[in-house]
A and B are shown apart, each in its own frame.
Chain A
Amino acid sequence: MNDFNRNRFVEFGLRFYIFLSFLFVFAPIAASFVFSFNSDRFPSIPLGSFSTEWYVAVASDPLVWAGLRNTLFVGLIVAVISTALGFGAAYTDFRYRFFGKSAYLALALLPPTIPVVILGLAMLAFLSRINLSGQSISVIIAHIVICSPFAMAITRLRLSQMDPDLEAAAWNLGASEWAAMRYVIVPFAAPAIFGALFITMAVSFDEFAVAWFVSGLNETLPVKVLGFLQGQVSPRINAIGTFVFVISMTLVIFAQLLLTGGAKDAQSASND
């Protein structure tokens, strides 16, 4: 970056703004963490005494563990399949023109527009008739429907930054379509693909309304949280929230370490 237009106050102001933004985003998370150790059942100021009873209650509830397993299992599968479907659709939109393309796009982008309570009931009505309701696979199916539009939008955004001639250039240089995909498109879209994986997993992780309907008795964790929020208001909610957060952060950190290891090498390679 050049030095023209650098003003110390503006720099400081912008960095401070970033700090404020993170403060806003993390304030409720931090508060939730603090209150998960509060002895009082209902959160209020001033705080009660320090207590880990809620964590004990949560950790000793086998249904919470089952919910967590379901959520992770569902989330991982949903992330992978949604990203794959979304990528395919984004690439199709990027490259092809065909009759019915608008309808295709509408179909791909429609799901997030549907109010979740209604979608939940409709999906249950449909899945129960084909004997696929009340299980983890039901949640997976429903979540892929909901999440793949996100993956598609993110990937499409990234592809729009690519010069389409790059692909044609690859073909001219003798690459097959598959090879061009593998060596030109996918590496370029890689940040979007990883972004889509995370976001779709996160969306699935937190989705409770549709899951309440279709998961039946094999509930996911967000459904349990909804139940707690609506019935057993207590710091258990905060304890579960922190629990899930720590576990998912561990996964994300692992993934980031592995990925940035590869990405940094790619970056340093391209800088050479």
Chain B
Amino acid sequence: MRRSVSLYGLTFSLPMLIWQLLFFVAPLVFLIALSFWTVKNFRMEADFDTINWVTMYGRWVFWQSYGLTLALATAACVITSILAFPCSYAIAFKLSARQQQLAIFMMVIPFFTSYLVRVYSWQIFLSDNGIINGVLGAVGMGPFPMLNTVFATMIGYLTLTFPLVVLLQLFSLMFIDRTLIEAAHNLRCGRIRTVFAVVIPSARVGLVIAALFCFILSFGDFVSPLYLGGGDPTTLSILITDTTKSGQQWPRAAVIALTMIATLLAVAFAAVGFAYKGRTK
């Protein structure tokens, strides 16, 4: 690896740096400063007071929400990864090249539909008088309460992240060296064992990155917990909106936001480190 600073290197590294410095760091710094402001009579006043941090961290509601959001997001990333894997595996290994392209194309389609609209549509499926209960009712079962539960929130998270996770997993699986698999088969490895001993480790980067994206998106999402989960439990994203209803309490909301950012950053670094562990590149 060359160390000298060259025009070539700078051309690639600088634009991102400059852009983020210009348009991202400033708002971020503002956000940090905001968390020290005080609010009087619906007006925010520039200040340097730690009261927001002290108050927020002293409330059990905050920690309960934090724990619940962490648990939900972890569950979402595990469930989504597990549910997506057979699909991405099948697309990578069981379809012809043309079928693969068609499958990828179809997986990209949901990205161009509104997530809001899709969540709104799920309500029709999951409500007590909805489509799923209607079908179950026709065979004499139910009705099962599905809407306004954690189950519905999970469905929402899946709607948000499933296509992305499949595509990211696929990206890694598609480019696995097939000779490794052949070698495993030649050494009399069974199907399942090949998957766990060869395929998954080879695709580790893609699998971990996919799970990480799922975690990040689920952690910060407020649409699914609100519209499908009935606002119950209160996730951190909902708590942020709630906090502002204390009369322009954006400073306290900023405290929650900064805590979320720090958490996600820690998780991201850990995940990326694990994903690329042992590789020189």
Contacts and interface: CB of A to CB of B under 8 A. Distances in A.
Asked whether A and B interact, the reply is yes
Interface of A: 1-2, 4-5, 7, 10-11, 14-15, 17-18, 21-22, 24-29, 31-32, 35, 43-45, 84-89, 91-92, 94-98, 104, 106-119, 121-123, 125-126, 141-142, 144-145, 148, 152-154, 157-162, 164, 177-178, 181, 191-192, 195, 198-199, 202-203, 205-206, 208, 222, 225-226, 229, 237-238, 240-241, 244-245, 248-249, 252, 256, 260, 267
Main secondary structure, interface of B, reads helix
B103 A18 contact: yes
A202 B106 CA distance: 14
Interface string B162-195: 1110111001100100100010010000110010
B111 A198 contact: yes
Nearest to A191: B171
A1 B90 CA distance: 13
B115 interface: yes
Main secondary structure, interface of A, reads helix
Nearest to B176: A161
B91 A2 contact: no
A22 B105 CA distance: 12
Interface residues of B, number: 107
Contacts of B11: 88
Interface in B101-160: 101, 103, 105-125, 129-131, 134, 158-159
Contacts of A112: 216-217, 220
A107 B25 contact: yes
Contact of A117 (B6, B105, B117, B241): B241
A111 B268 CA distance: 12
Contacts of B51: none
Contact of A14 (B84, B89, B110, B122): B89
Contact of B30 (A15, A126, A161, A195): A126
A226 B226 CA distance: 13
B113 A88 contact: no
Interface string B209-250: 100010011001010000000000000110011000000001
Contacts of B103: 18
A91 B12 contact: yes
A124 to B, nearest CB: 9
Given A2-B182, A5-B185, A126 B26 contact: yes
B118 A177 contact: no
A237 B24 contact: no
Contact of A241 (B30, B117, B261): B117
Nearest to B244: A117
B124 to A, nearest CB: 5
* A-B CB proximity, top 4 nearest: A202-B111, A113-B264, A28-B121, A241-B117
A113 B220 contact: yes
14 contacts: A17-B86, A18-B91, A29-B110, A88-B11, A91-B12, A110-B28, A119-B27, A125-B30, A157-B168, A157-B206, A199-B164, A202-B112, A206-B115, A267-B97
Nearest to B108: A198
Contacts of B241: 117
Given A29-B110, A96-B13, A45 B124 contact: yes
B50 interface: no
B17 A104 contact: yes
B268 to A, nearest CB: 6
Contacts of B58: none
Contacts of B269: 106
A47 B177 CA distance: 51
B76 interface: no
Interface string B1-38: 11100101101111111011101111110110010000
Contact of A118 (B2, B31, B121): B31
B257 interface: yes
